[in-house]
Structure 1
Amino acid sequence: MEALLNTGSTINEGRLAKGGNKYSDDYTKECAVCWMCAEDYTSLGCPEKVAVTSRDGKHTVAVRPKVTEAMRSGQVFIPRSIWANVVVEPDTFSTGSPRYKGAPVTVEPTDEEVLSAEEVVLKLYMGGE
């Protein structure tokens, strides 16, 4: 499914991140999610996990779907976090800040493991686990 990705803070993401709990299970449960509407979730076959892939197809992250009426069809949301950072577009348009809103992504069911924040960093940014 093609979608537009938006990212941003949630109250619990901010509380956990500012409290120094980025490696906690609570942080993973709050942030390793992809909010979507029920219609899109059903069209994907109601998967337990989804893979969100960047427009260029180079970066993918596995997260858990979160069905919510807050989302419209064709739009998804990942809380501001390492999981979102994997797939946001790096273009800054000379602002120094990547495009956190409206980035085209692909969302599809996956059997990949949803990694913790520490595991994401080790795998994607440090070259291994």
Structure 2
Amino acid sequence: MEALLNTGSTIDEGRLAKGGSKYTDDYTKECAVCWMCAEDFTSLGCPEKVAVISRDRKYSVALTTKVTEAMRSGQVFIPRSIWANVVVEPDTFSTGSPRYKGSPVFVEPTDDEILSAEELVTKMYMGGE
């Protein structure tokens, strides 16, 4: 499924991040999540987890799904975090800030493991497994 990715803070993401809890299970449960509407969730086969894939298909991140009426069809939301950063469009258009709103992505069901923040940083940015 093609979708537009929006990211942003949630109350608990902010509380955990500002409180120094980025390496906790609570932070992973709050932020390694892809919010979507019921219609899109059903069209994907009601998966427990999805892979959100960058437009160029170079980057992908596995997330749990969260069905919510706050989302419209064709749009997904990931709380502001390392998981969102994997697939956010890096272009800044000379603003110095990546495209945190409206990045085109692909969303597919997956059985991939949900990585912790530490595991994801090691895998994506340090070349580790």
Q: Which residue of 2 aligns with 1:34?
A: 34
User: Secondary structure of 2:98's partner?
Assistant: coil
**TM-score scaled to structure 2, two decimals?**
0.99
**Correspondence 1:52 to 2:52:** yes
Q: CA deviation at 1:56?
A: 0.5
Consecutive aligned runs of 4 or more in structure 1 exceeding 2 Å deviation: none
Which consecutive unaligned segments of at least 5 residues does structure 2 have? none
Residue of structure 1 equivalent to 2:79: 79
Aligned residues between the structures: 129
The amino acid of 1:27's aligned partner reads Y
TM-score (norm 1): 0.99
Gaps of 5+ in 1: none
Q: Secondary structure at the match of 2:66?
A: strand
SS at match of 1:93: coil
Give the whole-Å Cα distance in 1 for the aligned partners of 2:93 and 2:2.
24
* 1:75-96 per-position Cα deviation (integer Å, ceiling 9, x unaligned): 0000000000000000001111
Work out the percentage of aligned pairs sharing the same amino acid: 86
- Show the counterpart of 1:95: 95
The offset of 1:48, in angstroms, is 1.1
| Counterpart residue type for residue 113 of structure 1 | E
